[in-house]
Amino acid sequence: MITLPKLPFAENAMEPFISAETIQYHYGKHHTGYVNKLNDLIKGTEYEEMSLSAIIRRADGPIFNNAAQIFNHTFYWKCLSSSSTAAEGTLLEKINNDFGSLEALKEEFIKMGASLFGSGWVWLVREPKGKLMIKQTSNAHTPLSSNLIPIFVCDVWEHAYYIDYRNARPDYLKEFWKHINWKSASKIYEETDTDVFIGIEPCNDIHDPFCQLMDELQDEDRVTT
């Protein structure tokens, strides 16, 4: 059974970037709905006893869609900060190395988020060999499926911003950039900074530190639905 992680901040903590009303729908209806739907779908199946990351790497169709959306949303909440934080340390050095500057990454990230057609996600990810890149995924798709390590993500489904920004997705992305939780991003970058963190084989939950990290995120402060 998969559980709904507790929202890591108060419903109104992100105002005016994200209103409490948006959080009530986004977390209270959408994220919660994916958890309830997935548990209905996996009942009595081989997936029932698996971790979330294991389900994502093995399933397809509705089970994949709901499992991936649970992970994507859990990760998205962890990427947000109500107070201003700054990129620093080894992650900032890597950004400067791979993108030229933090400002260049910002411009490209917002452009990629604004240009994604339909619903989806825009991510800063690292490749297994360590290079940082920006990746768009449509609908529920997630970098976990392709062994890319997410550093942070912005949800660009309309349900993430339509109440507060209507159709102005670029404005939402610009505000997102001001609320990135760089402490969380640095922690993930540093904890996955090894050549052996992930292999090309499907995830083995015991030996894959990244899957363990993601499942720890999922399991923190869990809420029973």
- Site for Fe ion, rule CB under 5 A: 155, 157, 160
Q: From the CB of 160, what's the least distance to Fe ion, in Å?
A: 5
Of the pair 162, 177, the CB lying nearest Fe ion is at 162
**Strand spans (E) along the chain:** 4-5, 120-126, 132-138, 149-155, 222-223
Q: From the CB of 54, what's the least distance to Fe ion, in Å?
A: 22
Of the pair 26, 57, the CB lying nearest Fe ion is at 26
Separation of alpha carbons 148 and 127, rounded Å: 5
Q: From the CB of 30, what's the least distance to Fe ion, in Å?
A: 5
How far are the Cα atoms of 86, 90, 125, 146 from residue 193, in angstroms, in the given order? 20, 10, 12, 18
Of the pair 155, 164, the CB lying nearest Fe ion is at 155
Q: Which residue, judged by CB position, is nearest to Fe ion in the bound state? A: 155
Of the pair 32, 85, the CB lying nearest Fe ion is at 32
Alpha helices in 85-168 (DSSP H): 89-99, 102-115, 162-165
Q: Which two tokens stand for residue 78?
A: 């962890």
Separation of alpha carbons 76 and 62, rounded Å: 21
Q: From the CB of 159, what's the least distance to Fe ion, in Å?
A: 5
